[in-house]
Copies of this chain bind each other. A is one copy, B any other.
Amino acid sequence: MKLLPDAVKAFIDGAHVCRIATVREGGTPHIIPVCPAFDGDRVVYVDVAKDGVTARALVSSDRITAIFDEYSDDWSKLKAVILRCRAEQVQGAELEKAWELFRAKYPQGQAIGWEARHTLALRVGGWTEWGLVHPLGYQPE
């Protein structure tokens, strides 16, 4: 995989929301918004409901695609990064590391008792971006 450029890493790191898509058994796509934490290199951590549609979809396929994007009505300012990943439930030391990142980035989680449910490492295997390094105008994929 091409390394992620610094401008793309900064965009991922700064995002408080991204959307992740999975494929349900039977072939229907699913999407949810999640609060991501980035390891600064090539892993995005997210925490999803234990028995939700996303967790169940991952039983039959670990493929997950995340989009980080910012919309503007000025279409010359559109920005997006698409990450094609494999999802893996994290355990042990990596789980601790993920939750250090979550707690630092989302202090509001403490007030509602947000703790690990089904915490995933999204390991990036490929990516596309526009508006950060390369312009694309109004014609995304």
Contacts and interface: CB of A to CB of B under 8 A. Distances in A.
Interface of A: 16-17, 19, 21-23, 27-34, 48-49, 52-54, 61, 63-67, 69, 71, 73-75, 78, 80, 82, 84, 108-109, 112, 114, 117, 137-141
A137 to B, nearest CB: 7
A73 B27 contact: no
Chain A interface helix/strand/loop/mixed = mixed
Given A33-B80, A108-B73, A141-B49, A63 B28 contact: yes
Question: 6 closest A-B pairs (Cβ-Cβ)?
Answer: A21-B21, A21-B29, A17-B71, A52-B141, A53-B141, A31-B67
A55 B48 CA distance: 29
- The number of times this chain is found in the oligomer is 2
Contacts of A30: 21, 65, 82, 141
Given A16-B71, A75-B108, A137-B112, A65 B23 contact: no
B31 A140 contact: no
A45 to B, nearest CB: 16
Given A17-B71, A23-B23, A140 B32 contact: yes
A84 B32 CA distance: 12
Contacts of A71: 16-17, 33
